[in-house]
Structure 1
Amino acid sequence: MNNHLQNGVNTTADKASGGLAQFFSDFISALPLWIAAIVVMVVAYFFAKFIKNIVGNRLAMRQLNQEIIILGERAAFTITLTLGVVISFKIVNINLDTLIGFMGLGIGFALQDILSNFFAGVLILTQNKFKIGDIIRLEDIMGTIEEIDARTTQIRSFDGTSLVIPNAKMINAIVENYTMNTFRRVNLEVGVHYSTDLPKAIALTLESVKKNPQVVPNPEVQVWATKFDDSAITLAVKFWVESTDNRFAIKSQVMQQLKADYDAAGIEIPFPIRTLALDQSDRNLMQALHLPVKK
């Protein structure tokens, strides 16, 4: 019984030793192939960057849109690097069909968000709904697009903050593009005193706004009396400018000119006014404090 057990142990040990020896033998014999595969992948990476630069320069020479240039560079880099990876796998006799199956399964679960943002980036670059340099509004974010990467879009807000937005959000959300329109409307409200001659104030406002050379004549400047506020009658002013970048500066210029013209014409922009009704106890208190009380 003991001899039989001992023989079984010896046999198992011999098989394990032989299997381990075979593994190291196969590994050593395949080591040059693995080294060659790694060298091919490294060379493929640098060659892909080289091809990317060549494609980018060629497309730039044709004066194509920057978005098309970026897309062409990425396509050239990805295709070249993929070919290098395939050649490396062939060198070490890796079954590509099985590998692709496992990669597809892993990508489907682990890289879902990454791929979603990547394909969204491709759509952004090909559809040309907005591009680098455009001024956009996304929800409560407003700024200039500085860069469109494979997975994200970088926006510089007007207060100087750099914001990185996933491309999938840029595709799925409502994005207002202020740059696509040649003209941009500017809205302005101003209050005039209740004693003001409204037709005169409206005519003067129209004339004052039109003085600015950056206000376009068509569409025409529009001025309406819109509401009775507590202290003033509100005039709504709407005009159009051609420069999206300078619209805030133009609005400031229009306001300064409007204030000067109102002052010259004697039109008052009133301060808030409140009328207070005092009961007898309030009157008694003011008299005790020797404050003037209107009879």
Structure 2
Amino acid sequence: MVNWSLKAIDYEVYNGVTVGDLILVFAILFIAFLIAKIIAMSLRRSLADKMKKGEIEALVKFVYAVVMLTAIVTVTPILGLNLTGLLVAGGIAGIAIGFASQKVVSNLLSGLFLIAERPVKIGDQIIVGNVAGFVEDMKIMSTIIRTYDGLYVRIPNETLFTSNITNPAANSARRFDYTINVRYMDDAEKAIRIIKNVIEEHPFALKIPPPRVFVDSLGESGMSIVVNIWAPSSEWTDVKMDLLWKIKIELERNGIQIPTKRNLA
């Protein structure tokens, strides 16, 4: 019985390919199928709250195709198939596709790394190169940035992953600075008190870290007062614009002016 089974396995089906070879081929393809299914389940589970359903399914199909294609390439020599002729015939097309797919794969892998690392998330304010704005959407191949003037910019994930990303919103608080010039004839200590009072009255100017107001330099036409203020990252832009105007109004109301040619004459 055993001898008959061994003979059956060694039975040549065609061109040196035996029954045993066919069993091995089916086993490899079946294992590849199981691996692809396991990877697909893991991707769906781990990315469910990080990506859109359609994008997850596109990624699953891509990974499934890669696994099965790898298995098919592996079994072709076992089946006695020679891919050399096919590869030579499609050499030019293969080179063109290779260059195109290199970018596609690079963007895809970069997208996966961005999802895993999470340096930014939708809604964050970021700066990438000369593009600054809000992260509107994160896809497998690219990230969409809505600039402050309302333009939508598509950045390939490879570019995003390999660039320096400034994410001001990563910290709950963010500092901004003013440099305010006052005349020598004005009282610098009074100006500092006024500025501190305006800051203390603002509901979104943080007490911790505390604001700093000090004379930083003495110029030809006046003194430079530097103001450091911390605000919640979510309110940073509004607080920065609001406080500068309020400080200006309050200084002028108390007779303290910014040096100009007119008031220095």
Question: Is the contact made by 1:153 and 1:166 (CA closer than 8 Å) also made in structure 2?
Answer: yes
Instruction: Give the CA deviation at 1:112.
Output: 1.8
- In the alignment, which of 240, 243, 248 is matched to residue 230 of structure 2? 240
Matched residue, 2:123: 133
Q: How does 1:33-182 map to 2 (within 5 A)?
A: 55=44, 64=49, 66-67=50-51, 72-79=56-63, 98=83, 102=87, 106=95, 108-182=98-172
Answer yes or no: is 1:259 the counterpart of 2:248. Answer: yes
- In the alignment, which of 184, 197, 206 is matched to residue 187 of structure 2? 197
RMSD: 3.9
Gaps of 5+ in 1: 1-50, 277-295
Matched residue, 2:204: 214
Instruction: Give the CA deviation at 1:228.
Output: 2.8
Q: 1:222 to 1:68 in 2, by over 3 A?
A: farther
Question: Is the contact made by 2:107 and 2:158 (CA closer than 8 Å) also made in structure 1?
Answer: yes
* CA distance, structure 2, for counterparts of residue 74 and residue 228 of structure 1: 63
Instruction: Give the CA deviation at 1:265.
Output: 2.2
Instruction: Give the CA deviation at 1:67.
Output: 4.3
* CA distance, structure 2, for counterparts of residue 214 and residue 236 of structure 1: 19
Residue by residue, what CA displacement relative to the aligned partner does 1:236-271 show, whole Å, maximum 9, x if unpaired? Answer: 111111143x32221122122212321332222232
Q: 1:96 to 1:253 in 2, by over 3 A?
A: farther
Q: 1:178 to 1:275 in 2, by over 3 A?
A: closer
Query: What is the TM-score of this pair, normalised by structure 2?
Result: 0.66
* CA distance, structure 2, for counterparts of residue 157 and residue 119 of structure 1: 25
Gaps of 5+ in 2: 1-39, 74-78
- Letter of the 2:119 partner, please give it: K
Q: 1:147 to 1:178 in 2, by over 3 A?
A: same
**Identity percentage over the alignment?**
24
Question: Is the contact made by 1:67 and 1:132 (CA closer than 8 Å) also made in structure 2?
Answer: no
Instruction: Give the CA deviation at 1:124.
Output: 0.9
Instruction: Give the CA deviation at 1:115.
Output: 1.7
Q: 1:274 to 1:259 in 2, by over 3 A?
A: closer
Residue by residue, what CA displacement relative to the aligned partner does 1:53-85 show, whole Å, maximum 9, x if unpaired? Answer: xx59x975xxx3x34978744433434566898
Question: Is the contact made by 1:67 and 1:131 (CA closer than 8 Å) also made in structure 2?
Answer: no
Query: What is the TM-score of this pair, normalised by structure 1?
Result: 0.60
Aligned length: 216
- Letter of the 2:186 partner, please give it: T
Instruction: Give the CA deviation at 1:145.
Output: 1.2
SS where residue 154 of structure 1 aligns? strand
Q: Which has the higher strand share?
A: 2
Residue by residue, what CA displacement relative to the aligned partner does 1:106-147 show, whole Å, maximum 9, x if unpaired? Answer: 564442222222211111111111122211011222111112
Question: Is the contact made by 1:71 and 1:122 (CA closer than 8 Å) also made in structure 2?
Answer: no
* CA distance, structure 1, for counterparts of residue 81 and residue 135 of structure 2: 40
Residue by residue, what CA displacement relative to the aligned partner does 1:11-30 show, whole Å, maximum 9, x if unpaired? Answer: xxxxxxxxxxxxxxxxxxxx
* CA distance, structure 2, for counterparts of residue 225 and residue 97 of structure 1: 80
SS where residue 59 of structure 2 aligns? helix
